């Protein structure tokens, strides 16, 4: 019996110690929350959960986990909101379809509020964060935001109507734009609004109609049917246009214009003054240009400057426009009569070389070369002569000097160009002079006359 007790007693003690150790281990073991391994399903809440490795983010794992959990929460809202939203009737070329989703995507994460930290959990290697947001709370927040936004939009709508009645059309259009911009986050929804008169109407549609009608009813006109650009004005002309709205002249309307000056198109901007007029100077035409046209239209991009940065409205509004004004431009071809004297060493040359070359080069540059039967033509008088520059080893050197004087029909000097010391070398004196004329003719055909004609357009 004593022997049995000696055997059993140590066994009981050991078992007791083992049991106590097991209980202590159970108490020290950390229970992993169910949400870490199994995503909760709660139809009343939006849920965002994220797990981040401490090895990957040793210093800020908790911050990264919180940010990722909020992004997860935002993604769930995006999916559910975009799948249940009813697109409004404000659709222009599928603009709403393409932009509504992107607007939701870019703003949900930034505008989150009302969420709570449901739980967080850490192990030696990971951080887990769990956020939730009551759908009822979120719906209430969104409804209040929308109420405020539509209130601002309606305020702009009223301002626009007042400016419209005062005839300040550009400011009215700007207010319509600002109103639609204020409620741009809700253009994917139905937006009925009850105005001060108690009548319910679709605010977004009313604002868009105000923009499109305001722009479309702007009429640009001119007293000219054709813009005639004349040499006597050095190929510069002022085109005067008028802007009207419902027949009344309107000031402050931004305008853009463009015209081809030959090879390179020219564009610019201006605006109508208080009397509804705008003056556009067209110039710098390329030599030889005979026909062109100018297009003047409302500068819609200038109106869009009132929109907030990165506003989603720009793709919608930039395609709206009034009917542009298009006027043909007719440029008067320069009419030039070429005359003059060509001499060899002071004596009249038997055959003219320089004057025919000048006529050919002028024609190639778009000039109409005429005879004396055109009293209004310009007259280009050529005076050319050669002189001996030297003689030696059986060769003669001759130098040609020429003066080209262009005068108008009244005899007033328009411009004057010179050819200086064009060199000719030959074995005979006369042939040296003729060689100088040939070289001068080549200069004429290259850039001399081209530059001469260009100066007419400056």
Domain boundaries, the chain: 28-137, 145-216, 218-299+313-331, 335-457
pLDDT tier for residue 28 given thresholds of 50, 70 and 90 = low
3-state secondary structure of 413: strand
Answer yes or no: same fold for 218-299+313-331 and 335-457: no
Residue 257 confidence (pLDDT) = 98
Alpha-carbon 241 to chain mean position: 24
Q: Which residue has the higher pLDDT, 254 or 189?
A: 254
3-state secondary structure of 228: strand
CATH class of 145-216: mainly alpha
Summarised one tens digit per residue, pLDDT across range 47-57 is 999 999 999 99
Radius of gyration of the chain (CA): 43
Cβ(352)–Cβ(440) below 8 Å: no
Summarised one tens digit per residue, pLDDT across range 279-323 is 999 998 988 888 999 999 999 999 999 988 878 888 878 888 899
Distances in Å between the Cα of 183 and the Cα atoms of 360, 367, 390 are 68, 60, 89
What mean pLDDT is predicted for residues 426-438? 95
pLDDT at residue 25 above 60? no
What mean pLDDT is predicted for residues 413-432? 93
Summarised one tens digit per residue, pLDDT across range 69-108 is 999 999 888 766 554 443 444 555 444 444 444 444 445 5
Residue 89 confidence (pLDDT) = 46
Q: Which residue has the higher pLDDT, 64 or 107?
A: 64
Residue 94 confidence (pLDDT) = 47
pLDDT tier for residue 12 given thresholds of 50, 70 and 90 = very low
pLDDT tier for residue 13 given thresholds of 50, 70 and 90 = very low
Nearest CA-CA partner of 227 in 237, 235, 218, 217: 237
pLDDT tier for residue 5 given thresholds of 50, 70 and 90 = very low
Residue 6 confidence (pLDDT) = 53
Q: What is the CATH number of domain 28-137?
A: 3.10.28.20
For 89, the enclosing helix (H) or strand (E) is none
Residue 326 confidence (pLDDT) = 98
Nearest CA-CA partner of 253 in 291, 297, 317: 297
How far apart (Å, rounded) are the C-alpha atoms in residues 293 and 241?
Answer: 14
Residue 101 confidence (pLDDT) = 45
Residue 234 confidence (pLDDT) = 85
pLDDT tier for residue 29 given thresholds of 50, 70 and 90 = low
pLDDT at residue 17 above 90? no
Rounded to two decimals, what is the model's pTM? 0.71
Residue 317 confidence (pLDDT) = 82
Residue 309 confidence (pLDDT) = 84
Q: Per DSSP, what are the bridge partners of residue 331?
A: 229
Cβ(207)–Cβ(199) below 8 Å: no
- For domain 218-299+313-331, the CATH superfamily is Immunoglobulins (2.60.40.10)
Summarised one tens digit per residue, pLDDT across range 206-229 is 999 999 999 999 999 999 999 999
How far apart (Å, rounded) are the C-alpha atoms in residues 261 and 282?
Answer: 9
Q: What is the CATH number of domain 335-457?
A: 3.30.160.150
How far apart (Å, rounded) are the C-alpha atoms in residues 224 and 280?
Answer: 13
Average pLDDT, the chain: 87
Residue 86 confidence (pLDDT) = 38
Q: Name every residue whose Cβ is closer than 8 Å to that of residue 119 and which is 6 or more positions away in sequence.
A: 33, 35, 130
Structure tokens at 252: 């402050």
Residue 10 confidence (pLDDT) = 53
């Amino acid at each position: 019996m004593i022997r049995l007790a000696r055997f059993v007693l140590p066994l009981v003690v050991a078992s007791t110690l083992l049991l106590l150790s097991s209980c202590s281990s159970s108490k020290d073991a950390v229970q992993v929350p169910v949400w870490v391994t199994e995503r909760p399903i709660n139809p009343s809440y939006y849920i965002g959960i994220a797990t981040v490795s401490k090895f990957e983010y040793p210093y800020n794992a908790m911050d990264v986990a919180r940010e990722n959990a909020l992004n997860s929460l935002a993604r769930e809202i995006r999916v559910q909101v975009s799948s249940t939203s009813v697109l409004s009737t404000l659709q222009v070329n599928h603009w709403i379809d393409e932009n509504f989703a992107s607007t939701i995507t870019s703003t949900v994460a930034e505008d989150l509020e009302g969420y709570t930290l449901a739980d967080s959990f850490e192990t030696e290697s990971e951080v887990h964060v769990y956020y939730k947001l009551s759908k009822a709370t979120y719906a209430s927040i969104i409804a209040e935001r929308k109420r405020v936004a539509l209130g601002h939009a309606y305020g702009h709508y009223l301002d626009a109507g007042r400016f419209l009645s005062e005839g300040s059309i550009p400011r009215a259009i700007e207010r319509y734009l600002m109103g639609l911009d204020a409620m741009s986050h809700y253009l994917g929804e139905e937006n009925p609004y009850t105005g001060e008169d108690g009548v319910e109407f679709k605010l977004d549609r009313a604002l868009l109609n105000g923009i499109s009608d305001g722009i479309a009813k702007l009429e640009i006109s001119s007293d000219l049917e054709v813009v005639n650009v004349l040499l006597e004005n050095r190929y510069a002309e002022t085109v005067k246009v008028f802007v009207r709205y419902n027949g009344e002249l309107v000031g402050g309307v931004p305008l853009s214009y463009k015209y081809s000056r030959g090879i390179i198109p020219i564009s610019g901007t201006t605006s109508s003054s208080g009397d509804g007029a705008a003056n556009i100077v067209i110039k710098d035409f390329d030599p030889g240009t005979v026909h062109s046209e100018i297009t003047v239209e409302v500068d819609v991009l200038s109106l869009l400057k009132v929109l907030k940065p990165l506003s989603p409205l720009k793709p919608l509004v930039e395609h709206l426009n009034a009917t542009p004004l298009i006027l043909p431009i007719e440029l008067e071809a320069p009419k030039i009569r070429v005359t003059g004297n060509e001499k060899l060493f002071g004596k009249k040359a038997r055959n003219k070389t320089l004057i025919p070359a000048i006529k050919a080069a002028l024609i190639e540059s778009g000039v109409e070369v005429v005879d004396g039967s055109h009293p209004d033509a310009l007259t280009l008088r050529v005076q050319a002569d050669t002189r001996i520059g030297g003689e030696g080893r059986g060769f003669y050197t001759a130098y040609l000097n020429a003066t080209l004087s262009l005068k108008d029909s009244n005899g007033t000097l328009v411009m004057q160009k010179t050819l200086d010391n064009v060199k000719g070398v030959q074995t005979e004196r006369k042939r040296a002079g003729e060689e100088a004329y040939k070289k001068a003719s080549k200069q004429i055909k290259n850039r001399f006359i081209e530059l001469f004609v260009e100066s007419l357009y400056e």
